[in-house]
């Protein structure tokens, strides 16, 4: 599709990520993980943390990330479409599949970024202006190692009491299904979109300010 057509399609399907704004999200300096991930070769990890545009935008600026694909996890293939998932009854979460090089950025370091600047892990079924089960914070480990590291890190963060409320982020299983083409690289392609300016650009800025060593200026395209 030509760019104009893509934007037109996007304009018709933004209800879930274009709600009226509520109280803003903050950042937290999450500690380094006590348990480091032991992985070699390119790996994938799936993160759900509210509207997938922001999750994708942050990870697309992390050194060692090869791709960050927006999509849906936790439900079936049959109803893994934006319009259907936005109804909140499919069991999916808006999620991002990250392909990364552990020699540059480990899974535990990606988790640190996730909890620091991407999502508030104490909010149940909502993030920023969006509410519904599809906006829950959830991790979908792709290996036994990722599962062990994720459980250990959530336990570490819970013990640290960095937030005034308990962590409700879940560890789940389920396949990942890519979202429609117009959702991919959305922040890169639509930098002046009101949602991106208000909610997602600040997350990328926080990544740069808090973790400059892993930040890269270039956006990794899918």
Taking the C-alpha atoms of residue 160 and residue 156, their distance in angstroms, rounded to an integer, is: 6
| Sheet bearing 170-171, strands edge to edge | 170-171, 137-140, 43-49, 93-100, 65-73, 176-178
H or E segment and range at residue 32 = none
Strand partners, 133: none
Catalytically active residues are 51
Assigned token pair, 155: 């336990």
Side-chain half-sphere CA neighbours of 46 within 13 A:
23
Side-chain half-sphere CA neighbours of 222 within 13 A:
23
């Amino acid at each position: 599709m030509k760019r104009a057509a893509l934007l037109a399609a996007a304009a018709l399907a933004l209800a879930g990520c274009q709600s009226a704004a509520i109280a803003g999200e903050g950042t937290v300096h999450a500690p380094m993980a006590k348990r480091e991930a032991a992985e070699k070769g390119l790996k994938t990890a799936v993160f759900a943390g509210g509207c997938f545009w922001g999750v994708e935008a942050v990870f697309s600026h992390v050194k060692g990330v090869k791709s960050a694909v927006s999509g849906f996890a936790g439900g079936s293939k049959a109803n893994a479409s934006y319009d259907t998932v936005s109804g909140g009854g499919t069991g999916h979460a808006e999620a991002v599949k990250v392909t990364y090089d552990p020699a540059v950025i480990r899974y535990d370091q990606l988790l640190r970024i996730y909890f620091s600047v991407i999502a508030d892990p104490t909010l149940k079924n909502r993030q920023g202006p969006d509410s519904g089960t599809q906006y829950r914070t959830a991790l979908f480990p792709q290996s036994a190692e990722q599962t062990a590291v994720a459980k250990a890190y959530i336990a570490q963060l819970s013990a640290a009491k960095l937030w005034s409320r308990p962590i409700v982020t879940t560890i789940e299983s389920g396949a990942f299904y890519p979202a429609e083409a117009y959702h991919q690289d959305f922040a890169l392609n639509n930098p002046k979109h009101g949602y991106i300016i208000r909610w997602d650009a600040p997350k990328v800025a926080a990544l740069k300010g808090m973790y400059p060593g892993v930040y890269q200026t270039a956006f990794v395209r899918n």
